[in-house]
Amino acid sequence: MVGASDTSGWARFIVASSATVGYPGPLITVHPGHATAFGKPTVPSLRDLPDPVDLAFILAPVQAVERVLEDAGAAGVRSAIVLASGYREVGQDGRALEDQMVARARTNAVTVLGPNCLGFLNAHARSAPFALTVPKPLTAGPVGIALQSGALASVVLAFARSHAIGVSMLTTMGNESMISTLDVLDYLVEDENTRVICLFLEEIGDLEQFARAAGKADQAGKPIVALKVGSSAAGQRAALAHTGSVAGDDAVVDAVLRQLNVIRVTSIEDLLCTAALLGYDRWPRGRRMGVLTASGGACDIIADGASAQGIEIPDFAPETVAAIAPHLPPFAAAKNPLDVTGYVLANARVSALTPIDHALDAAVQDPGLDFVLFSGVAAPDVRPPDESVATIMEGRVAWLEQRMASSPVPVIPVGSTCVDLSEYGRQLLDRHHIHLLGGMEFGIRAIGHALRWVENRGHVWPGPDPGRNAASRVCPADGVWSEEAARSLLTDCGVPVVPAELVHSADEAVEAARRVGLPAALKICSAQIAHKSDIGGVALGLATDAAVRAGYDQVVAAGRSVPGARIDGVLVSVMRTGGIELLAGVTMDPAFGPVLALGLGGIWVEVLKDTSLRVLPVDADEVKRMLTELRGLPLLRGARGSRPADLDGLAKVITVLGDTAMSFKGALRALEVNPLWVNGDHVEALDVLVVTEPANAAETELTTC
Amino acid sequence: MVGASDTSGWARFIVASSATVGYPGPLITVHPGHATAFGKPTVPSLRDLPDPVDLAFILAPVQAVERVLEDAGAAGVRSAIVLASGYREVGQDGRALEDQMVARARTNAVTVLGPNCLGFLNAHARSAPFALTVPKPLTAGPVGIALQSGALASVVLAFARSHAIGVSMLTTMGNESMISTLDVLDYLVEDENTRVICLFLEEIGDLEQFARAAGKADQAGKPIVALKVGSSAAGQRAALAHTGSVAGDDAVVDAVLRQLNVIRVTSIEDLLCTAALLGYDRWPRGRRMGVLTASGGACDIIADGASAQGIEIPDFAPETVAAIAPHLPPFAAAKNPLDVTGYVLANARVSALTPIDHALDAAVQDPGLDFVLFSGVAAPDVRPPDESVATIMEGRVAWLEQRMASSPVPVIPVGSTCVDLSEYGRQLLDRHHIHLLGGMEFGIRAIGHALRWVENRGHVWPGPDPGRNAASRVCPADGVWSEEAARSLLTDCGVPVVPAELVHSADEAVEAARRVGLPAALKICSAQIAHKSDIGGVALGLATDAAVRAGYDQVVAAGRSVPGARIDGVLVSVMRTGGIELLAGVTMDPAFGPVLALGLGGIWVEVLKDTSLRVLPVDADEVKRMLTELRGLPLLRGARGSRPADLDGLAKVITVLGDTAMSFKGALRALEVNPLWVNGDHVEALDVLVVTEPANAAETELTTC
């Protein structure tokens, strides 16, 4: 601890944290001005150490940090934590100071965690260079944690303590000048004590590194649970204010996390309850849940929650009913969800196994269940004073441990509400390796998260540049492409485009309309006019020669009314009726690059914001998953009497669009097909917009009438 | 306690509960077979009591209950709790037994709570005839509770204990044979110790009584918070299984509760956290929140949660910024939400007021804030051993109490997560009348609930029969009404109907079409054909005489193809284009009577299920609120380029429809206008269906082709 005196609160926290985790090694205080600290002699500088220490926790003020780094380098200390604030998070000046500090660290071969961070703890290694309170007792366990907000660490540890959720490591990240959250994620994926990873994220960071780590985690069977903040505009401002980081568009963030099979939660309770379920319990392989409770009200609450999460509560098999019924009072029904009734509570003779235990014995054998939610775990405030009662109760818990271990399906014990375990309850359950989920609300939600994680395993997005889009496209145009060029691009790539011809007179329009088919649609073509229908540049449903002729005159007049618009001609295409119109577009996200947006057209996108997003590239399977996420999916399946769309064929076309967008290697601004028309297995781009990076930025101002 | 022996678990619970609440009165055991119980002599029968007791808790088995009621009557005991199960909840036989038991009670002038219940407790009166564990300590406080699932009582009390939420009364309802949940609700509305009411509901019960009690509660300023289960099909089955009650359609239940300004929640945590906020804290009058925390991560989480609840976090006023800034470290920004940073934690000199306290002093004066969320409350595990530290900390809490009391806006203290208060923290905060909301997640959600409750005050639905629909309509038809009769009904009531004429030949159709206006719509009229368009009985967009003639032939042919359909003629109406189509319909809910459903037509109803529901009657203000609940509202406001609809005019027309439905006094089956067309201030029923109770049920089978 460099710069630690008796009056430093941070130092006192480090001393206390080290004691809490049982840190065995020496904790040396370095201070130039105090001869003793915390009752022990200090050394004046790191240079005065006989041997280099493993880690220097630099508590010195910001202006002294670099000198300490010099000392560390000279003393052969290779790792440091920098606590001081006043760097990148305060703006431009701080950023320069931080760059200078990092350069100094590199010169001296020191790796820095922080600055502006509170250190870390490793419960298994009993190490806690951690300048915050550690609530006692700290249980060592499967949950690895990295936090982009250090002050949350004690909040997170306090909740974990309350629910006996064991922690492997917890790291506060600070400004991530040399060690990033993703570096810690990488470490936790490989750490053998960590079985599940919790992240508090203000920003995603390097997408390629995240994707690589997420893929490794998915393969290793280590779920990642992330509380990613910034879903609200105000939240984004808050994130900006205190770390200086740039939060991405939240809908894209959501898509990215889904692609990486990272479970996204919105509260600390959800973060830890979900992690505990995945870290302690066996994972359910399916959605069919057996429910065993001692309260009808609990059955109701669980059933409602399960329904919201898409978890099924099927009827018990007849043999399960037959096995359970004899253990219930006559007025209780052997149904799923099961209420064994409070009758058991009043049975004065404490017995080795209670009705809910017998029900568990039967339910785990039910072939129709994928897992059993068990709310019959006893964890009283204190050990029952009557020794025989205590012995029987503790025997029941030991029985449960064995029963769970030998059960063919996972048994998930759950508490009623999110209340703390008592000290006695914690010790008893811990001894028998039973983890109790923190109440029905968080428990059911955690199970929902876990099921989605299990279901999405095996197809984690490989990242932004997996090498499968080797072909790079030469840009034939820049700014807004002409209608013809855009249509050619799609045709060349294999995307079906509606038959159409570019004409330059009313006579040509009539002839073209006869060729492509009536009724026809006419549209003015000009790179300078983006929203054609708003200015009368589109004429639809032209069923006769005369109508086509009149339509031609109309759209040309509309085009001429736009000052400076260069008219390329008029596009004559056949009208498509029936079927369903989609929007499929690729835009560039400043943080994540090309993003594919899919939605049903019209109100679906404009009013309902019903779109599915993915960062590119994606394959056809993933595009099909996008389609199934749309609220308008029933329309594609034929809900309003239309022909059900061929979703596989549709997904293939959209995948080609995405690959086409990727082939521009960053030179693309937008590629949008709107509408993309589908009628059964007939898929066609009715209109397409392509915008690429301009050679000359001044030329590209769109006329948006 | 009648039928209580030493081996009765129920009796032991009652004895323990009475001790926990400090019950001062005598607790007498009545047993015919045991001379002593719980170390005291028993009496053989209630008849042997020298004076009548206030209450008999009947623990006797089901077959002995009626004999005990006879004894009670003879002994002058007027109140009883019946614990036994085996009544209504087990089916037909049990229902008969319960009726017989109730008759016996009435004959003996005894009022029964239960059967199949666990009693109640009154914390202020220190009375606890309550056959379940009461977690210690039980705090007397503002929250009154009634539970339709008795076994949940100890779960509810345990959570309340963990968060120092004080209870006035808690009642388990059982089968409600003589005292219903609504009777208890009535009592709690008048109980001076109760400031907020919590209900666990499996069924709503008598709507008129509920509406009356809800109106009284709203006037008295006592919020009602309800955990109403049965939102899922499985949930409804669970409710059915263990109480035998019939749960209504959940969407209608949701509407009813909203009409009664009853806050609906989905978990026990939400139930109690919301009740605690409303019972302890001053209610915010608006949605502008100031946020004071010591962690940037907390700011982010709160901002995201607030955004989801529609709570604003506006910028501080310049004078607030100026007042706060001097108390912050140089690297922290005086912004809303405010992070005073962990710096304060490390300040070794414990001071009377910390930066977050100074920030509070400034924020409560900010004219742009309606309330302040304060996460700077100290509630440590144990009293700090250093007396001076403890004194300063406790002084801060005392200061906070005064600051909150004198603040011009409500100050709402919130914890970080949902963890238990320590015994010390509970006592400290309780002494200073400070309640700490159970974490950011539940806290923000509770504030959202509270704001909606405050905003909805003053217009609670007066109930199903407030006497304002005195006029009763004579039914001119039964079953499915003819087109003409249905259109006349609307016209007579003042609902605008699209111009149309009933014709009986193609020639008449052409003439009628010229009169009503082209293009025309033709529709076959037959009471036996409900879904006309499905069989080709509708022709739309007929722009010429020839088209009208062809359309006439088409719809008549379609009508003739339906076996047994009596054709009344063909309705010729003008086609309406542009504008927006709604659906406005009244159907009869088996539990709640006439229900008005409003939605935008087509996919909005069929695919998106985007409807707003209300139990009738409703006034135009409420109908306007219904319109604003629709996700498609932007369309009505002109989002897709249409004229914004006159919502007041539209609401008036729909209100008339509702009143018309009510005037049938229960003889209505359905009254549906679909579409109800609106274009600016032009509102018109384009099609109407009226079905009333038939004189002869056999006649009314609809032909639904």
Residue A519 · residue A575 · CB < 8 Å: yes
Cα maximum dimension of chain B:
103
Contact A234 B337 (CB under 8 A): yes
Picking from B243, B345, B349, the nearest residue to A296 by CB comes out as B243
Mean pLDDT across chain B, nearest whole number? Answer: 90
**A427 inside 8 A of chain B by CB:** no
Compute CA B604 distance to the chain's CA centroid, rounded to the nearest angstrom: 24
- Looking at the DSSP assignment, which residues form a beta bridge with residue B581? B677
* Contacts with A573 (C-beta within 8 Å, 6 or more apart), sequence order: A498, A499, A500, A501, A516, A520, A521, A523, A686
Contact A268 B301 (CB under 8 A): yes
Measure the CA–CA gap between A72 and A78, rounded to whole angstroms: 7
- Compute how many other C-beta atoms are within 10 angstroms of the C-beta atom of residue A452: 15
Measure the CA–CA gap between B581 and B598, rounded to whole angstroms: 11
Cα maximum dimension of chain A:
103
- The pLDDT tens digits of the residues spanning B399-411 come to 999 999 999 999 9
pLDDT of residue B346: 58
* Contacts with A625 (C-beta within 8 Å, 6 or more apart), sequence order: none
With a cut of 70, which residues of chain A have pLDDT below it?
233-248, 342-351, 466-477, 640-641, 694-705
| Closest CA in chain B for residue A160 | B419
Q: Nearest to residue B416, comparing CAs of A678, A268, A620, A537?
A: A268
For residue B330, list chain A residues with Cβ-Cβ distance below 8 A: 86, 90
* Contacts with B379 (C-beta within 8 Å, 6 or more apart), sequence order: B415, B421, B422, B424, B425, B426, B428, B429, B436
For residue A343, list chain B residues with Cβ-Cβ distance below 8 A: 85
Q: How confident is the model at residue B202 (pLDDT cuts 50, 70, 90)?
A: very high
Residue A680 · residue A609 · CB < 8 Å: no
| CB contacts < 8 A (A, B) | 300
For residue A433, is it left (φ>0), alpha (ψ between -120 and 50) or beta? left
Mapped onto helix, strand or coil, the DSSP state of residue B649 is helix
| Closest CA in chain B for residue A242 | B296
**B307 inside 8 A of chain A by CB:** yes
pLDDT of residue B618: 94
Contact A152 B10 (CB under 8 A): no
Residue A140 backbone phi and psi in degrees, to 5: -75, 135
Compute CA A552 distance to the chain's CA centroid, rounded to the nearest angstrom: 51
Residue B674 · residue B486 · CB < 8 Å: no
- Looking at the DSSP assignment, which residues form a beta bridge with residue A292? A338, A374
Measure the CA–CA gap between A213 and A222, rounded to whole angstroms: 11
Residue B312 backbone phi and psi in degrees, to 5: -90, 150
pTM above 0.95, yes or no: no
- The pLDDT tens digits of the residues spanning B290-347 come to 999 988 999 999 999 999 999 999 999 999 999 999 998 877 889 999 998 766 555 5
| Closest CA in chain A for residue B136 | A381
Picking from A232, A303, A417, the nearest residue to B235 by CB comes out as A303
For residue B10, list chain A residues with Cβ-Cβ distance below 8 A: 346
Mapped onto helix, strand or coil, the DSSP state of residue B141 is strand
For residue A311, list chain B residues with Cβ-Cβ distance below 8 A: none
Task: Give the CA angle between residues B372, B373, B375 to the nearest 5°.
Answer: 135
Q: Nearest to residue A592, comparing CAs of A608, A575, A616, A624?
A: A616
Residue with tokens 């069929």: B606
Residue B694 backbone phi and psi in degrees, to 5: -80, 150
Rounded to a whole number of angstroms, the distance from the CA of B384 to the nearest CA of chain A is 14
How many residues in chain A? 705
Q: Nearest to residue A350, comparing CAs of B58, B292, B9?
A: B9
- H or E segment to which residue A620 belongs: helix A620-629
Contact B270 A441 (CB under 8 A): yes
Contact A158 B418 (CB under 8 A): no
Measure the CA–CA gap between B610 and B629, rounded to whole angstroms: 9
Q: What mean pLDDT comes out for the span B527-546?
A: 84
Task: State the first-to-last Cα distance of chain A, in angstroms, to the nearest integer.
Answer: 65
Looking at A176-326, list the stretches that DSSP marks H as alpha helix, in order from N- to C-terminal side: 181-190, 207-220, 233-243, 250-259, 268-280, 296-309, 318-324
- The pLDDT tens digits of the residues spanning A87-101 come to 998 889 999 999 999
Measure the CA–CA gap between A118 and A148, rounded to whole angstroms: 11
Residue B619 · residue B655 · CB < 8 Å: yes
Measure the CA–CA gap between A384 and A371, rounded to whole angstroms: 31
Residue type, A212: R
Percent helix, strand and coil across chain B, each rounded to 5? 40, 20, 40
Measure the CA–CA gap between A380 and A378, rounded to whole angstroms: 6
Q: What is the ipTM, given to two decimal places? A: 0.91
**B343 inside 8 A of chain A by CB:** yes
Q: Is the dihedral of CA B647, B652, B656, B661 positive or negative?
A: positive
| Between B203 and A241, the higher pLDDT residue | B203
Contact A607 B634 (CB under 8 A): yes
For residue A148, list chain B residues with Cβ-Cβ distance below 8 A: 297
Q: How confident is the model at residue B465 (pLDDT cuts 50, 70, 90)?
A: confident
Contact B307 A416 (CB under 8 A): no
Does B704 have pLDDT greater than 70?
Answer: no
- The pLDDT tens digits of the residues spanning B228-247 come to 998 876 555 555 544 444 44
Q: Classify burial at A536, counting beta carbons within 10 Å of its beta carbon; exposed 0-12, middle 13-18, buried 19 or more.
A: middle
Measure the CA–CA gap between B449 and B443, rounded to whole angstroms: 10
Measure the CA–CA gap between A532 and A556, rounded to whole angstroms: 11
Contact B640 A308 (CB under 8 A): no
pLDDT of residue A238: 57
Q: Nearest to residue B57, comparing CAs of B92, B89, B25, B94?
A: B25
| Between A601 and B61, the higher pLDDT residue | B61
Q: Is the dihedral of CA B683, B689, B691, B696 positive or negative?
A: positive
Q: What mean pLDDT comes out for the span B77-83?
A: 97
DSSP string, B428-460: HHHHTT---BS-HHHHHHHHHHHHHHHHHTT--
Residue B672 · residue B481 · CB < 8 Å: no
- The pLDDT tens digits of the residues spanning B145-194 come to 999 999 899 999 999 999 999 999 999 999 999 999 999 999 999 999 99
Distances (CA, A) of A384 to A379, A390, B15: 11, 5, 17
Measure the CA–CA gap between B394 and B388, rounded to whole angstroms: 10
- Looking at the DSSP assignment, which residues form a beta bridge with residue B671? B586, B690
Percent helix, strand and coil across chain A, each rounded to 5? 40, 20, 40
Contact A229 B300 (CB under 8 A): yes
| Closest CA in chain B for residue A633 | B607
**A422 inside 8 A of chain B by CB:** no
| Closest CA in chain A for residue B159 | A419
pLDDT of residue B26: 93
Residue with tokens 């309260």: A295
Q: What is the DSSP letter of A232?
A: S
A465: its two tokens: 């540049």
- Looking at the DSSP assignment, which residues form a beta bridge with residue B589? B593
pLDDT of residue B238: 58
- The pLDDT tens digits of the residues spanning B257-283 come to 999 999 999 999 999 999 999 999 899
Contact A234 B307 (CB under 8 A): yes
Measure the CA–CA gap between B561 and B266, rounded to whole angstroms: 51
Q: Is the dihedral of CA B381, B383, B385, B389 positive or negative?
A: positive
For residue A94, list chain B residues with Cβ-Cβ distance below 8 A: 331
Measure the CA–CA gap between A596 and A576, rounded to whole angstroms: 25
B119: its two tokens: 């009693």
Compute CA B700 distance to the chain's CA centroid, rounded to the nearest angstrom: 36
- The pLDDT tens digits of the residues spanning B490-511 come to 999 999 999 999 999 999 999 9
pLDDT of residue B375: 93
Does B473 have pLDDT greater than 70?
Answer: no
B321: its two tokens: 């910024």
Distances (CA, A) of A215 to A212, A463, B196: 5, 9, 50
Mapped onto helix, strand or coil, the DSSP state of residue A146 is strand
Q: Indicate which of B12, B291, B304, B440 best probes the interface with A, i.e. most A CBs within 10 Å of its own CB.
A: B304
For residue A342, list chain B residues with Cβ-Cβ distance below 8 A: 118, 132, 150-151
Measure the CA–CA gap between A248 and A240, rounded to whole angstroms: 11
Q: What mean pLDDT comes out for the span B597-604?
A: 82
pLDDT of residue B534: 78
Residue type, B204: I
Contact B86 A330 (CB under 8 A): yes
